[in-house]
Amino acid sequence: MLSNSPVSWPPTINTCPDYLTYYQLTENGMKYDMCIDMIGVSRNGGVTKFPNTTIPPASDNSCYFPLKTLSDEPKKKRAELCQRSMSRGLTWEGITNGESCLTPDGKPAGAGGSGTADCPA
């Protein structure tokens, strides 16, 4: 069905960056929401491919992309996840285009992707 009014894209934001898989790590009785890379998609090795072992690595291992942010405020949380994605060589549809952070309406934040207060450079 076609829409006569603009719609946001993507309609929902994935839990994890593109091609990463959600993983809940339990360590010392604590649960951590993480994403893992099962196929090796990071362009700069910022997230390493998850090892094929029966014992998961410790939570500080580079194979994890943590979903915990410093702020629960949606705008700040989105900016932090965007910066984390870009610094680790990942894209995240609706969050980053791989070169800059995206605003909730899908447009690059700041001129030329240089960043704004919502998405620091």
Whether the predicted pLDDT of 86 surpasses 80? yes
Residue 111 has pLDDT above 70, yes or no: no
Question: Average pLDDT of 63-84?
Answer: 94
Average pLDDT over residues 64-91: 94
* Residue-level pLDDT at 45: 94
- The pLDDT value recorded for residue 10 is 62
SS3 35: strand
Residues 6+ apart with CB under 8 A from 41: 18, 19, 20, 90
For residue 116, is pLDDT > 50?
no
Residues 36 and 39: their CA atoms lie apart, in Å, by 9
Query: Is the per-residue pLDDT at 88 higher than 90?
Result: yes
**pTM (2 d.p.):** 0.78
What pLDDT, on a 0 to 100 scale, did the predictor assign at position 109?
A: 73
**Mean per-residue pLDDT, 103-117:** 57
The yes-or-no verdict on residue 83 having pLDDT over 90 is yes
**Residue the block writes with tokens 């360590």:** 27
How do the domains of the chain map onto residue ranges?
Answer: 20-68, 71-121
